[in-house]
Each structure stands twice: as structure tokens, then as C-alpha cells.
């Protein structure tokens, strides 16, 4: 009888402890959700607020063929998802258009002045920064990783392997504990050494140089190498590149409080519907660093990509190195035929293209250049998952028809610059 009473008391205490723990977890969750809601409101720069009113002329450039393609994708397919696009034609004329909303709940229209996170499109910028240092002699493609960063496997891996994703290093963004903290601490200003620590004790996925496997860790490490090699922050190096070629709206963290930023939205997390991720902006950008943390516009991305692939940034021999592709099958990008030094080689609609794609929670994009036909197309969205290659193909088809008509009729495209 005594033992029965003792056991009853024990189980009662266990149940009480579990109940208290449950209540504490619920309170913490409620508090966290309240904090995220507060940050979402605080970080909302989509509708202007104290930001100067945008001129009507900068909302979009009317185009009877291209604009409806954006409107159809944003409206019918994605319920108002924001789309921002820029096309640079072979003669240098441009078209830019927008559709959908910067704030989906308040229905604030997306404009050409809104900035969006571009995710892994950042990698093309980072690769370009690295290749500038290669030209300067500060970094060499065959430098071992151990020259710059102390990791267990660093002697086996070169800078070139990081650039074309043949290092075998696992992606830090697939680490569960990192993901918990990435979203769990929405205002955290991640430091590069904290991100490197995520992979410090992880083994390689394969022997370095033996095959291609896309990994955000490669471009995280390249960002660290850039900072160590130059003594400058990644944000400073990016700003110097932007100034060099005339980009006025491209940033890594160092943007002012008076710029317009489209809220980012995601529909995939636990299938809970469309969620506004503006409250997580600081952690997402800092945590993505040189692998995916840039904030910019479709105009700036298009001008950067066009400048890069038309030889205005790097020497032709350096650019040729970047366009040396390895076989790169990718289940997340089935249209990919190869991967160079920070460059995806895709075939879309029968056209051979070079550039990159990007996804980060809340945003997605694609930026491609056709070397044979000399056009550049960039499409950005403030939704994590969009049919970007399908939309790209539709825009490309219209561009291709115009170029074909010009060749046949020997007329000039209208100047919409």
C-alpha cells in the first residue's frame, strides 16, 4: 500500500512537471509569435510610410505584350505576388515592368523603386568579386582553402572548387540547428565566423573535385576569403563594385531606412498559407551573407549581368575562366546543363543561357543572358516559389519574336529606355 502511494505521488509530480513545461513552452511560443508580429510591422517598408512618394512615371513602362505576361502570372496564378522584371535588348534599349503587390495584405503596388532580396543571384556577384581579386593577384583559383580558413579538410579544397561547387562541403543552410536559430532569432546579426562554425565539424559529402553538388557553404567561405584577402567587409566590396559600374540600388545590409523594400512571402512552410516574412529580414539577410544576402532591384541586376557578360567588368580571359562549365545535374534545376565559376548554364525554350537563379525565404528570381542573341532578362518576385523558368520562357519568347521581326524587316526596336 505504501509503495502504491509513493508511485502515485511520483507520477503526480511528473504530470505536474510536464504540465508546467507545456505551459512554459506555450507562453514562449506566444511571446515569440508576438515578437515576430511586432518586427513584421516595424520592418514593413512596402507601402512607403515616411518614404517620399514615388513618381507615377516610375511605376512601370507600358508594353502591350510584355506587361500582360507579368500580370497574368501575378494575378491568375499567384494571387497578387509581386513581380519586377527588366529586359535589356541587343541595341541597349531596356524595358522594365512590375505587377502585383509589395504588401499583399494592404495591396500596396510593387514598383520599380522597390528593393527585393535576390537569394543565390548573390553568388554571381560574389564570384565576380573573387575574380576581380584573381585579376589583381590577391587570390588564385588554385589557392588551398587552408591559406585563408582553418577547417579540417581545408588543404584538399581550392578556391576554384568553391566557385563551381565541387568541394564536397555540406551546405550550412541544411543544418537543422542553424535553421532553428535562423528563424528563431529574427533580429540576429549573423557574423561570418558564426556561419563557418556550423560546418566546422561536419565531414565532406564526397572527395573534393570529383563531382558537382550545389552548396551554400562554398559561397559563405568565398565571402570570408574576400574579407581576409582585402581587409574590407563584404558589404564594402559590393558597394565598390556597384559604384564601379553605376548600380545605385544594390546593398548588403548597409542600406538606409528610407528605401522601399517589398515584403517577402512564403507559402511552403508547414503549408500554413501565405506568410509575411518581413519580421525575419535581418536574420535572413545576414545569415545568407555572400551566398544569398543581397538586396537590390531588377534594373540593377540586369545592368550588372549585362555588364559582366559583355566584358565591362572583367578581362575576356577571366570571363572565359568563369564560363568553363562542369557537368552539374541538379534535381532542383533540371534545365541546368553545367555550372561554371558562379554561373549556371541553363537551356530554356531552346535557348542557351548563362546567369544564375535565386531563392531565399520570401523571394525568388532568375537572371539570364543570351550570348548568341545578346539580350538579358531578369525577373524577381517577393514570393519564395514561383514558376520562374516558365515565366522567363514566356518573356523570352516575346523578346525573340521581336528580334526575329527586326532581322526580317530591318527595323529598329522602339527606344523605351
The strand order across the sheet containing 363-370 reads 94-99, 83-88, 375-381, 363-370, 351-360, 344-348, 336-339, 326-327
Is residue 184 within a helix (H) or strand (E), and if so which, with residue range? helix 176-184
Dist CA 158 CA 143 (whole Å): 5
Dist CA 377 CA 395 (whole Å): 8
pLDDT at residue number 386: 80
Helix (H, G, I), strand (E, B) or coil at 241: helix
Dist CA 52 CA 113 (whole Å): 11
Q: What is the CATH number of domain 56-409?
A: 3.40.710.10
Mean pLDDT of the chain: 88
3-class secondary structure for 244-274? HHCCCCCECCCCCCCCCECCCEECCHHHCCC
145: which residues sit within 8 A by CB, 6+ positions away? Answer: 151, 153, 154, 155, 157, 158, 159, 162, 167, 221, 225
If you search the block for the grid coordinates 509589395, which residue do you land on?
102
pLDDT band at 85 (very low <50, low <70, confident <90, very high): very high
pLDDT at 124 over 90: yes
- Residue 134, Cβ neighbours under 10 Å: how many? 22
Summarize pLDDT for 296-319 with one digit per residue, the tens: 999 999 999 999 999 999 999 999
Nine-digit cell string for 304: 550588372
Dist CA 95 CA 87 (whole Å): 5
pLDDT at 55 over 50: no
Whether the CB-CB separation of 348 and 392 falls below 8 Å is answered with yes
Is residue 102 within a helix (H) or strand (E), and if so which, with residue range? strand 101-103
Pick the closest to residue 395 from 356, 342, 364, 351 (CA basis): 351
Our CA dihedral for 196, 199, 201, 205, rounded to 10 degrees, sits at: -140
pLDDT band at 39 (very low <50, low <70, confident <90, very high): low
Helix pair angle (192-199, 281-292), 10° resolution: 70
| Torsion 397-403-406-411 (CA) sign | positive
pLDDT at residue number 112: 96
Lowest mean pLDDT among 32-41, 127-136, 169-178, 340-349: 32-41
Lowest mean pLDDT among 361-365, 387-391, 407-411: 407-411
pLDDT at 59 over 80: no
Chain-centre distance for alpha carbon 124: 10
Q: Distances in Å between the alpha carbon of 376 and those of 126, 328, 359, 371, 392?
A: 19, 23, 19, 9, 11
Give percent of the chain with pLDDT exceeding 90.
Answer: 72
Summarize pLDDT for 204-263 with one digit per residue, the tens: 999 999 999 999 999 999 999 999 999 999 999 999 999 999 999 999 999 998 899 999
Domain spans of the chain? 56-409
pLDDT at residue number 44: 79
Name the pTM for this structure. Answer: 0.88
**Half-sphere exposure (CA, 13 Å, Cβ side) for 183?**
14
Pick the closest to residue 131 from 156, 155, 157, 162 (CA basis): 162
Helix (H, G, I), strand (E, B) or coil at 360: strand
Pick the closest to residue 39 from 189, 188, 187 (CA basis): 187
Amino acid at each position: 500500500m505504501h509503495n502504491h502511494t509513493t508511485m502515485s505521488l511520483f507520477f503526480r509530480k511528473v504530470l505536474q512537471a510536464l504540465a508546467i513545461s507545456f505551459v512554459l513552452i506555450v507562453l514562449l511560443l506566444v511571446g515569440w509569435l508576438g515578437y515576430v508580429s511586432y518586427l513584421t510591422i516595424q520592418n514593413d517598408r512596402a507601402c512607403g510610410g515616411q518614404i517620399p512618394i514615388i513618381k507615377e512615371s516610375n511605376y512601370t513602362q507600358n508594353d502591350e505584350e510584355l506587361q500582360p505576361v507579368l500580370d497574368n502570372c501575378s494575378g491568375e496564378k499567384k494571387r497578387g505576388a509581386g513581380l519586377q522584371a527588366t529586359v535589356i535588348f541587343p541595341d541597349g534599349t531596356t524595358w522594365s515592368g512590375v505587377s502585383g503587390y509589395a504588401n499583399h495584405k494592404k495591396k500596396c503596388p510593387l514598383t520599380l523603386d522597390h528593393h527585393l532580396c535576390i537569394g543565390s543571384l548573390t553568388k554571381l556577384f560574389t564570384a565576380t568579386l573573387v575574380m576581380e581579386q584573381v585579376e589583381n593577384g590577391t587570390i588564385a583559383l588554385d589557392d588551398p582553402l587552408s591559406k585563408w580558413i582553418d577547417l579540417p579538410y581545408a588543404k584538399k579544397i581550392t578556391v576554384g572548387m568553391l566557385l563551381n561547387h565541387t568541394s564536397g562541403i555540406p551546405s550550412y543552410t541544411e543544418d537543422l540547428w542553424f535553421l532553428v536559430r535562423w528563424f528563431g532569432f529574427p533580429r540576429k546579426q549573423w557574423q561570418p565566423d558564426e556561419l563557418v562554425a556550423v560546418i566546422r565539424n561536419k565531414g565532406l559529402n564526397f572527395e573534393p573535385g570529383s563531382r558537382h553538388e550545389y552548396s551554400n557553404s562554398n559561397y559563405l567561405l568565398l565571402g570570408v576569403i574576400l574579407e581576409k584577402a582585402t581587409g574590407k567587409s563584404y558589404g564594402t566590396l559590393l558597394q565598390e563594385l556597384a559604384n564601379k559600374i553605376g548600380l545605385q540600388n544594390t546593398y548588403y545590409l548597409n542600406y538606409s531606412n528610407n528605401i522601399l523594400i517589398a515584403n517577402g512571402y512564403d507559402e511552403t512552410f508547414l503549408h500554413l498559407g501565405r506568410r509575411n516574412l518581413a519580421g525575419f529580414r535581418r536574420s535572413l539577410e545576414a545569415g545568407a551573407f555572400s551566398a544569398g544576402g543581397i538586396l537590390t532591384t531588377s534594373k540593377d541586376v540586369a545592368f550588372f549581368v549585362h555588364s559582366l557578360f559583355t566584358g565591362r567588368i572583367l578581362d575576356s580571359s577571366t570571363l572565359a575562366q568563369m564560363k568553363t562549365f562542369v557537368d552539374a545535374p541538379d534535381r532542383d534545376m533540371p534545365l541546368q546543363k553545367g555550372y561554371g565559376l558562379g554561373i549556371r548554364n541553363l537551356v530554356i525554350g531552346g535557348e542557351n543561357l548563362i546567369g544564375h537563379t535565386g531563392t531565399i525565404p520570401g523571394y525568388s528570381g532568375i537572371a539570364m543572358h543570351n550570348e548568341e542573341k545578346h539580350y538579358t532578362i531578369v525577373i524577381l518576385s517577393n514570393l519564395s516559389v514561383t514558376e520562374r523558368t516558365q515565366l522567363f520562357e514566356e518573356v523570352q519568347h516575346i523578346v525573340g519574336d521581336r528580334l526575329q521581326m527586326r532581322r526580317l524587316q530591318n527595323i529598329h526596336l522602339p527606344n523605351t529606355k
